[in-house]
Structure 1
Amino acid sequence: MKPIIVTSQHNDQVKRWRKLQSRKGRQSLGTLWIEGEHLLEESVKAGWRVRALIVDQSREAEHRPWWEKRNKNAPVYFLPSRLYRTLADTETPQGIAAEVEIPKGEADRAIPAEGVLLLLDGVQDPGNVGTMLRTARAVGAAGVWLGKGTVDPYNPKVVRAAMGALFHVPIRMIDLHEELPRLRSAGYCVVGTHPRGEHVHFDVSYPGRTAYLLGNEGRGVDPALMRWVNSEVSIPMPGGAESLNVSITASLLLYEYLRQHRGGH
């Protein structure tokens, strides 16, 4: 397929790609913007459809081997460096990007029959959410569910922090007030954290169906959601720290679950 050369910032495709810089634009188009061969490779491996490849024309020779080998049907657009840099989200652009379709299955309301879930209530830092997605992939989590107020998982900063995990972890945007009762009815044990939790995290035996509920970096979990929590656990901090970063907390929770259930991995 012959590359399409685009030189004007007023081109319709360029205008479309600019929309992907906002959550509203991503939602309306059903696509997201990703950069670099690593993320492109991960999206292809996961079966996400690449709608368009965008290449900095000055670095075409550098990236041609990848897109000639891995790109099947998506049109390839060549942009001059000055125009490409206006679209790139990073300070040092890698010279290749793509518009990728967000799978429609994201809206599936099915509850996993087994496994561990991360439930996020108003977690706003993109780096935290990206790191949690990365950890969730590492342990083989059944999914990450994002409640209202949580940063868009397709935000470029989340995508970069997740290092490709975004394409492999089942993600849902939900209303926790609706979904927590459903999880409880499906037999899930919903676990919250608190510095003075009733049980020390490492002393708890977690069932196969476990959902960890984590809250906003400043205010924590909405108190109205705590009625659905089976138990609150504390993570020991003998060094005297008041709290842990929410993504570190998630890692400790997930890896303790994995330790207890590692026979199945």
Structure 2
Amino acid sequence: MNIRRITSSRNDRVKHWRKLATRKGRDENGTLLIEGVHLLEEAVQAGWKIRAILVSDEGTHILDRVAGLGDAPIFSLYPSTFQQLVDTPSPQGIAAEVVVPSERGPLQSADRARVLLLDAIQDPGNLGAILRTAEAAGVRDVWLGTGTVDPYNPKVVRSAMGSLFRSRLRRVDLKKGIPELKRQGYFIVSTSPRAERYHFRFEFPTKTALLLGNEGRGVSPEVQALSDTHVQIPMPGEVESLNVSVTAGILLYELVRQDWTQGDGES
């Protein structure tokens, strides 16, 4: 195992990795830094290309715990330099620069095709939780509308806990993307407290796109107008609204319930 040692925090590679802490840096380079053994293993298993592996001088032994790293170059850094590059106080002494795959491509092919549309979701923790729940419910296609937080933000990556690497993300203008989905036969469903039907009394079509909006404002009026129908999640308590990640979980698992009730799942 060939480990290249970097001794200066002013090294060009360190400067490059430092830029990946920003959305601009990630977008310009098409890569991001991930931290810790678990996320590195998840990325490898999902087939993401590893461009470089970073280890703290005191953590080189941890490389033996990660399989499938291939021939990616390994760089050892002073602990202080390594800590400057990572977002968590205890990242296990290992990180990696990984290449972001293309966001384009056909939608997932399935008898019951589902797409999740997110309009200006701003909280990284919410987006990460939504991606994890969507994968658990079998939904891999997630379209991120204008104003949505960068899916490669370190907090999103951590809260998604590996689901990010298996999600099929597409950043789009939903005012243009939703008509595209409709041409492909998708039915657009969003929520509204004034909807006439509860979500569990609506039979979701086989090709459904769920539309969820911003934490404070909900779905923008221009995008909401493109919905084919609205459903209401009943709230017999006195709260005015649900966290968007909770709303996503309720609707996604209603899709799962209906699919299984109709014989597509296992008992």
Structure 2: 5+ residue runs without aligned partners?
A: none
Question: What is the Cα deviation at residue 261 of structure 1?
Answer: 1.0
* SS of residue matched to 1:107: coil
- In structure 2, the residue matched to 1:66 is 65
2:147 is paired with a residue whose SS is: coil
For the residue of structure 2 that corresponds to 1:150, the secondary structure is: coil
| Cross-structure match for 2:7 | 7
Q: CA deviation at 1:64?
A: 2.6
Note the C-alpha offset of 1:113: 4.6
**Higher fraction of helix:** 1
Paired position in structure 1 for 2:255: 257
Cα distance in 2 for residues equivalent to 1:64 and 1:126: 29
> Deviation digits for residues 189-227 of structure 1, max 9, x if unmatched?
101111121210111111111111111111111101122
Alignment of 1:1-265 (within 5 A): 1-61=1-61, 63-67=62-66, 69-104=67-102, 106-108=103-105, 110-114=106-110, 115-262=113-260, 263-265=263-265
CA contact (8 A) 1:111 1:183 kept: no
Greater CA drift, 137-146 or 36-45: 137-146
Distance 1:231 1:49, change over 3 A: same
> Which digits, 9 at most, give the CA deviation of each residue in 1:238-263, with x for residues without a partner?
12211100000000000000111133
**Counterpart contact for 2:107–2:141, Cα < 8 Å:** no
CA contact (8 A) 1:184 1:228 kept: no
Checking the alignment, whether the CA contact within 8 Å between 1:118 and 1:143 is kept in structure 2 is: yes
SS in 1 for 2:217: coil
Count of equivalent residues: 261
CA contact (8 A) 2:199 2:231 kept: yes
User: TM-score, normalised on structure 2?
Assistant: 0.95
| TM-score, L = length of structure 1 | 0.95
Q: CA RMSD in A?
A: 1.2
How far apart in 1 are the matches of 2:210 and 2:257? Answer: 15
Please give the alpha-carbon distance, in whole angstroms, between the structure 2 residues aligned to 1:96 and 1:173.
Answer: 29
Aligned-partner Cα distance in 2 for 1:241–1:47: 43
Distance in structure 1 (CA, Å) of the matches to 2:119 and 2:209: 13
3-state SS of paired residue (1:33): strand
**Any runs of at least 4 consecutive aligned residues in structure 1 with deviations exceeding 6 A, and if so which?**
none
- Structure 1: gaps of 5 or more residues: none
Give CA deviations for 1:71-119 in whole Å, capped at 9, x if unaligned. 1110011011111111111122321000000112x123x3445411110
Task: Confirm or deny: 8 A CA contact 1:107 1:173 kept in the other structure.
Answer: no
